[in-house]
A and B are shown apart, each in its own frame.
Chain A
Amino acid sequence: MRRLIANQELLLIGLMAVLLLAVSLKFPDFFGQQTLFNVLTASMVGMLFAVGVMLVVVSGGIDVSFLAVGILSAYATVKWASPDAGALSVFAISTAIGLGLGLINAAVVIIARTSVLIATLATSSIYLGAMFAFVGGEVISILPQSLQTLGSTHLITAKGAVRGTTSLNVLILVVIAVCILVWAFLRFTVAGRSVFAVGGDAEAASRAAISVPRIRMLVFAIAGAVAGLAGIISITLSGRADPTTFMGRELDTLAAVVLGGVAIAGGKGTVRGAVLGVLLISLVTASLVPLGIPTIWQRAAVGALLIGGILLQTTISRRQRIRPILDAPAPEVTNA
């Protein structure tokens, strides 16, 4: 089974390669650093959201509040930050708000004993409502100086494919660091393995002395913090804080997570898969432009990919090992 899941990841990589090749054949310029940087830049925020959502989904439940958490944390931080606030403190505050909102999610799920989907649907609306009511709804186009500087600090700058330059923001390092941290958490800590246990069978997990509420709190706290970080990175990269940035984009992230082989029923998923799912979706979007397909089709393409991803999962889980029983040739039947 593990090998088959790895196959799903291989398949994503293969799909990306095919797509890249197909577009590059028509437009040789497409194959180059510019596309790589474009796709990575477009994926940075999505990867963080996807990694957080992946954690929640693995623990058993579909989180739809991550974008609300992300934008509320980041927008409130930027709105109330002084113009000369340091980037580190802005990032830390947004992350901390996200963590707090994640804990509220966990509290609702644990206390109300409701499904994660219902709980986060509710909190998501509350978070967005609270943002517009108490924080504000106007676009902030002047960010603290430190964020503006950070937004134009690039890790690598190269010559553009056709003209100008192309660059990759230094924040990609933060994204990579978070992905590695979450991967290590899932792989090397008892709490991380417990997340899988809870997602597999919460009842059995609690009998194995795993404190299910504690694991849920941990998962939502991490997911919330990562969403808060994603929100502030998004604002930093775009250079403006628009509270409506993410509205209605939840499905893109969920689609990426499902494509990445994360079982929607819980208990199965990897950071690598979630990241690959996001990269694939970004690449699809990036490919539509040179192909002359209007970007409005991007959503349809994501939907089609999602169906493909789910079909893949169901065929994988349907394929079971059959152990042969028949071996010897027919022995003589002794009748009474």
Chain B
Amino acid sequence: MSAPFVEAVSVSKRFGGVQALTDVSVAFSPGEVHCIVGENGCGKSTLLKVISGAYRPTSGQVIVAGTAYDHLTPRQALSAGVEVIYQDFSLMPNLTAAENIALPGSVAGGRRLYSRTAARALAERAVVRLGVEIELDIPVGELTVAERQLTAIARALAHEAKFIAMDEPTTALTWKEVDALFAAVGRLKESGVALAFISHKMQEIFSIAERVTVLRNGGVVTSGRPDEFTHASLAETMTGRGSQSFDRVAPRNKGRAPALKVSGLGRDPLFADVDLEIGQGEIVGLAGLLGSGRTEIAEAICGVKPAQTGTIEVLGRPVEIKALADAVKAGIGYVPEDRLTQGLFLDQPIGDNIVATHLPSRRGFLSPQSIERRKARVVRDLRIKLGKLTDPVRSLSGGNAQRVLLGKWLLGEPKVLILNGPTVGVDVGSKFDILGVLNAQSLQGLGVLIISDDVPELISMCHRVLVVRSGRIVRELSGDQLREDTVVEAVTAS
């Protein structure tokens, strides 16, 4: 093995009272894919930010290309060839994709002049190298989450990086795009780039990693080759507890009105003729590729972008949904896809976010005691790991932010809960917790609609899976048909 290109040596990082990293040493060698895994809040993202120069470590050093830095600046890191793709992509929404891809290189290279055509050409080469298609000439803010993800990856590729770290790069990608990404990663590896890869998806870890390092509570637990682990042992090392699974209890919906019944829902040109029924206590999955219309259907049911035709019934009562507020009143909760930007007030306190939609009040006046009680209950029930209730949501890791969102909706005691990618970007342990909460809620009669890319998750959770293709529900799978191969086949068939 060749000498490491990037190395963190005994790095520790404190934020106020929180010890995010404790004496972490990791090395990334050229031509190697090194997976960093661990639960939410274990310090993976913090580690990446130290390596990229975004955070200054409290103690320890970062060694890049043989030079040791006590305080690496982002510019030093970039010009040495260190590229980090963050979970939030860190793109400038007002600039075009081409510019987002090309600008950082020009800045880090200390260049003064900027040429639009050169930038365009550079971006095009990077996109071709990645093997995908992105519209390069429109502002990034108008791209979909997946396209933004790809833009961020293309940006890293554009700068002849010698080390590329990706923080959960596949969460917003379809299978096809993941394949393209992995192919690109393979090519990068062959050309001698050192790669760090953060992922929660076991399959991914085992398919691309040469080395796996497990972090827990800010420290390295173990490090080794992937063949030294099994799925179960890796999950156990990450969470520090044994593997778990839950029993699916068949819903008893005989004689009870369905929690949600949708007929003939349509909105031109997005989807049409959508009929679906979710019984009380039933968990239904909505599977489909990105861009199949699955998100649009969910957004229509919950009033974000209302449908033009069709009817919606909650517990047998027809409801008219023209806006999100109507849906909330009717007992439909919606946990959106992009948890970081939709549905949470990122700079507002965690506690206030929890009670934002359901403030207990008496004759129009807020009741502070019951507000505090509710906040505490949600934090306890959903095991949200936080510093203080008054910290902003932004300070939470991805999975914990998702739990805040979930808790916020459960407070309203909805009849139906629609979750769009509920465990996207969530680690194994939290994923289990979140699914467990949903399972427990469904046992109490809540109808749940889960929209997900994660087929194993849908299969383990759902009583039935509906498959969406080109804006229509084309198949319904249940019972014996609920197998990974049948679902994948149904989703990808054309």
Q: Do A and B come from one complex?
A: yes
The chain A residues found within 8 Å of chain B, CB to CB, are 1-2, 187-194, 196-197, 199-201, 203-211, 263, 266-268, 320-328, 330-331, 333-336
A26 to B76, CA, bound (A): 66
Q: In angstroms, how far is the closest chain A Cβ from the Cβ of B443?
A: 23
Q: Is the CB of A336 within 8 A of B107?
A: no
Show 12 residue pairs from A and B whose CB-CB distance is below 8 angstroms, ordered by the A residue: A189-B112, A189-B113, A204-B90, A207-B52, A207-B84, A210-B104, A324-B270, A325-B296, A326-B272, A333-B473, A334-B474, A334-B475
Q: Is the CB of A207 within 8 A of B86?
A: yes
Cβ-neighbour of A325 out of B78, B94, B115, B293 (below 8 A)? B293
Scan B325-364; emit 1 where CB is below 8 A from any A CB, else 0: 0000000000000000000000000000000000000000
Interfacial chain B residues near A327, Cβ < 8 Å: 470-471
Interface centre among B111, B271, B475 (most CB of A within 10 A): B475
Total interface residues in chain B, CB < 8 Å = 56
Which of B226-234, B250-258, B427-435, B476-484 is near enough to bind chain A? B476-484
| A-B residue pairs, 9 tightest by C-beta | A267-B94, A324-B269, A200-B92, A200-B94, A208-B104, A204-B90, A326-B471, A325-B471, A209-B75
- Is B472 located at the chain interface by the 8 A CB criterion? yes
A334 to B475, CA, bound (A): 5
A147 to B89, CA, bound (A): 54
Q: Is the CB of B95 within 8 A of A325?
A: no
A204 to B84, CA, bound (A): 12
Q: Is the CB of B91 within 8 A of A204?
A: yes
Q: Is the CB of B112 within 8 A of A190?
A: yes
Sample of 10 further A-B pairs with CB below 8 A, known A193-B106, A333-B473, A336-B481: A201-B91, A207-B84, A208-B107, A210-B103, A320-B142, A325-B271, A325-B470, A327-B471, A330-B273, A333-B475
Q: Is the CB of A190 within 8 A of B291?
A: no
Q: Is the CB of A207 within 8 A of B90?
A: yes
Interfacial chain B residues near A263, Cβ < 8 Å: 94
Q: In angstroms, how far is the closest chain A Cβ from the Cβ of B230?
A: 34
Q: Is the CB of A330 within 8 A of B75?
A: no
CB nearest to B473 among chain A residues: A333
A224 to B82, CA, bound (A): 37
Interfacial chain B residues near A333, Cβ < 8 Å: 473-476
Q: Is the CB of B93 within 8 A of A200?
A: yes
Q: In angstroms, how far is the closest chain A Cβ from the Cβ of B157?
A: 15
- Is B268 located at the chain interface by the 8 A CB criterion? yes
Which B residues, 72 to 117, have Cβ-Cβ distances below 8 Å to chain A?
A: 74-75, 77-79, 84, 86, 88-95, 99, 103-104, 106-108, 111-116
Interface centre among B84, B112, B114, B469 (most CB of A within 10 A): B114
Interfacial chain A residues near B115, Cβ < 8 Å: 188
Interface centre among B139, B296, B472 (most CB of A within 10 A): B472
A327 to B142, CA, bound (A): 22
Scan B114-138; emit 1 where CB is below 8 A from any A CB, else 0: 1110000000000000000000011
How many residue-residue contacts, CB under 8 A, span A and B? 134
Interfacial chain B residues near A325, Cβ < 8 Å: 269-271, 291-293, 296, 470-471
- Is B54 located at the chain interface by the 8 A CB criterion? yes
Interface centre among A200, A322, A326, A335 (most CB of B within 10 A): A326
Q: Is the CB of B473 within 8 A of A190?
A: no
Q: Is the CB of B470 within 8 A of A209?
A: no
Q: In angstroms, how far is the closest chain A Cβ from the Cβ of B233?
A: 35
Interface centre among A192, A208, A321, A330 (most CB of B within 10 A): A208
Q: Is the CB of B114 within 8 A of A268?
A: no
Which B residues, 194 to 236, have Cβ-Cβ distances below 8 Å to chain A?
A: none
Interfacial chain A residues near B272, Cβ < 8 Å: 326, 330
Interfacial chain B residues near A203, Cβ < 8 Å: 90
With A201-B91, A205-B92, A207-B52 as known contacts, state yes or no: A331 contacts B107, CB within 8 Å: no
A188 to B113, CA, bound (A): 6
Which B residues, 443 to 481, have Cβ-Cβ distances below 8 Å to chain A?
A: 464, 469-479, 481
Interfacial chain B residues near A324, Cβ < 8 Å: 269-270
A201 to B91, CA, bound (A): 8
With A196-B94, A197-B95 as known contacts, state yes or no: A209 contacts B78, CB within 8 Å: yes
The chain B residues found within 8 Å of chain A, CB to CB, are 52, 54, 74-75, 77-79, 84, 86, 88-95, 99, 103-104, 106-108, 111-116, 137-139, 142, 268-273, 291-293, 296, 464, 469-479, 481
Interfacial chain A residues near B92, Cβ < 8 Å: 196-197, 200-201, 204-205, 208, 267
A122 to B182, CA, bound (A): 54
Interfacial chain A residues near B291, Cβ < 8 Å: 323, 325
Q: Is the CB of A200 within 8 A of B95?
A: yes
With A1-B138, A200-B93, A268-B94 as known contacts, state yes or no: A193 contacts B99, CB within 8 Å: yes
Q: In angstroms, how far is the closest chain B Cβ from the Cβ of A90?
A: 31
Q: Is the CB of A331 within 8 A of B74?
A: no
Q: Is the CB of A326 within 8 A of B470?
A: yes
A267 to B89, CA, bound (A): 18
Q: Is the CB of A188 within 8 A of B114?
A: yes
Q: In angstroms, how far is the closest chain B Cβ from the Cβ of A5?
A: 10
Q: In angstroms, how far is the closest chain A Cβ from the Cβ of B13?
A: 17
Q: Is the CB of A1 within 8 A of B474?
A: no
A197 to B90, CA, bound (A): 11
Q: Is the CB of B95 within 8 A of A196?
A: yes
A196 to B472, CA, bound (A): 41
Q: Is the CB of B112 within 8 A of A336?
A: no
Cβ-neighbour of A190 out of B52, B111, B472, B474 (below 8 A)? B111
CB nearest to B291 among chain A residues: A325
Q: Is the CB of B107 within 8 A of A201?
A: no
Q: In angstroms, how far is the closest chain A Cβ from the Cβ of B354?
A: 25
Q: Is the CB of A194 within 8 A of B296?
A: no
Cβ-neighbour of B114 out of A193, A199, A200, A331 (below 8 A)? A193
Q: Is the CB of B94 within 8 A of A190?
A: no
With A197-B95, A333-B473, A336-B477 as known contacts, state yes or no: A326 contacts B271, CB within 8 Å: yes
Interfacial chain B residues near A199, Cβ < 8 Å: 94
Interfacial chain B residues near A207, Cβ < 8 Å: 52, 54, 74, 84, 86, 90
A118 to B112, CA, bound (A): 32
A325 to B272, CA, bound (A): 10
Q: In angstroms, how far is the closest chain B Cβ from the Cβ of A307?
A: 24
Q: In angstroms, how far is the closest chain A Cβ from the Cβ of B126?
A: 15
Cβ-neighbour of A193 out of B79, B103, B142, B474 (below 8 A)? B103
Interfacial chain A residues near B95, Cβ < 8 Å: 193, 196-197, 200, 267
Q: In angstroms, how far is the closest chain A Cβ from the Cβ of B105?
A: 9
Interfacial chain A residues near B79, Cβ < 8 Å: 209
A206 to B78, CA, bound (A): 11
Interfacial chain B residues near A190, Cβ < 8 Å: 103, 106-107, 111-114
A204 to B92, CA, bound (A): 6
Interfacial chain B residues near A211, Cβ < 8 Å: 75
